Amino acid sequence: MKRILSFITVFTLLLTSCTGEQGPPGFDGFDGIDGEDGGLVFASAFEIEVNFNADNNFQFTEPYGFEVFPSDVTLVYIEWETDAGEPIWRLLTQTEYFNDGILVYNYDFTQQDVKFFLDGTVDFNTLDDTWTQNQVFRVVVVPAINIDGLDTSDFNLIMDASAIESFEIR
């Protein structure tokens, strides 16, 4: 029995002390802030009120004002209505149907900014101000890994998952 234990011990030591060729180097990560420990990556967010009109071609572009990485995802929610004073947020795109056409609230984004715009077949110039003026949007920029598998249409779920407690008002 002692021989078997001795053999296993020697064999284990030989295997753990073996070395081979070093593998290829890994990819460089993002540079951090000197002197600070790394940590969790949190979402950035802001709220903005937009007026759509012919002068701005029914679109508005807003720079983020913070760093956005290529793997980040921008989600935009519109304050669609209120219930007992509580705002109800909907994920864009949102479509409204009229007798003379369709109105779509939409957005696109880059690493520098987010653009809100009206789309559809309705003549935007004939729309009532309730559809074009004082439209409130919440923009949430999150690392894609933080929303993997989440229902992005659920504003409160995204708020909780992204640890967002407040929005900068612009």
pLDDT, tens digit, 9 for 90 and up, residues 7-45: 555 555 555 555 667 767 766 655 555 545 444 456 789
CB 78 within 8 A of CB 92: yes
Question: What pLDDT does residue 19 have?
Answer: 64
CB 61 within 8 A of CB 113: yes
Tell me the domain boundaries of the chain: 44-169
Higher pLDDT, 19 or 55: 55
Higher pLDDT, 16 or 134: 134
CB 122 within 8 A of CB 135: no
In sequence order, what are the residues at sequence separation of 6 or more whose Cβ sits closer than 8 angstroms to the Cβ of residue 39? Answer: none
Q: What is the pTM (predicted TM-score) of this model? A: 0.71
In sequence order, what are the residues at sequence separation of 6 or more whose Cβ sits closer than 8 angstroms to the Cβ of residue 33? Answer: none
Q: Which CATH code is given to the segment(s) 44-169?
A: 2.60.40
Q: Average pLDDT, stretch 87-106?
A: 97
Q: Average pLDDT, stretch 135-139?
A: 97
What value does the mean pLDDT of the chain take? 83
Question: What pLDDT does residue 40 have?
Answer: 47
Give the whole-angstrom CA distance, residue 144 versus residue 121.
33
Sheet holding 101-109, edge to edge: 59-63, 113-120, 101-109, 94-98
